[in-house]
Amino acid sequence: METQQPTQLAAGRLEIRPEEHAALVDGRPLSLTMRELQLLVTLAGHPQRIMTREELFAAVWGSQPRRDDRSVDVYVSRLRAKLGEALPETQLIHTHNGIGYRFSPDG
């Protein structure tokens, strides 16, 4: 069981405070939904690591995804949209075809 309680995660101008339910850019919180935040926390909690959809789903939804479930993709898309609004020209979440996604603190 991999439980982690980082009080703070940082990635350039982005700062994540899981216990405060907040993801800040320049000190200003983004309005993320619960799911979006959980997903971001999970990804950012494992920087530079390629995480499979299964891993992500398990961490955020707490169960196994159905076959052909696209929830993770949809939420990554929503998350990217909001991050992109606050941090244009920055690509924090990278796609790894056929595998999953990876969070890179440095763009």
Partner DNA sequence: CGGAGCTGTGAAAATCCTGTTAACGCAGGG
Partner DNA sequence: CCCTGCGTTAACAGGATTTTCACAGCTCCG
Residues that bind its own copies (CB under 8 A): 20-22, 24, 27-29, 31, 33-34, 48-50, 52, 94, 96-99, 102, 104
Distance CA 21, CA 40 (A): 11
State the burial class of residue 100 (Cβ atoms within 10 Å of its Cβ: 0-12, 13-18, 19+).
buried
Site residues (CB under 7 A) for DNA?
31, 33-36, 61, 66, 68-71, 73-77, 80-81, 95, 97-99, 101
Q: How far is the CB of 98 from DNA (least distance, A)?
A: 5
Residue 32 or 87 having the CB closest to its own copies = 32
Query: Around Cβ 94, how many Cβ atoms within 10 Å?
Result: 14
Dihedral of the alpha carbons of 44, 78, 91, 103, in degrees to the nearest 10:
20
Q: Which listed option, its own copies, DNA, none, makes contact with residue 104 (CB within 5 to 8 Å by class)?
A: its own copies
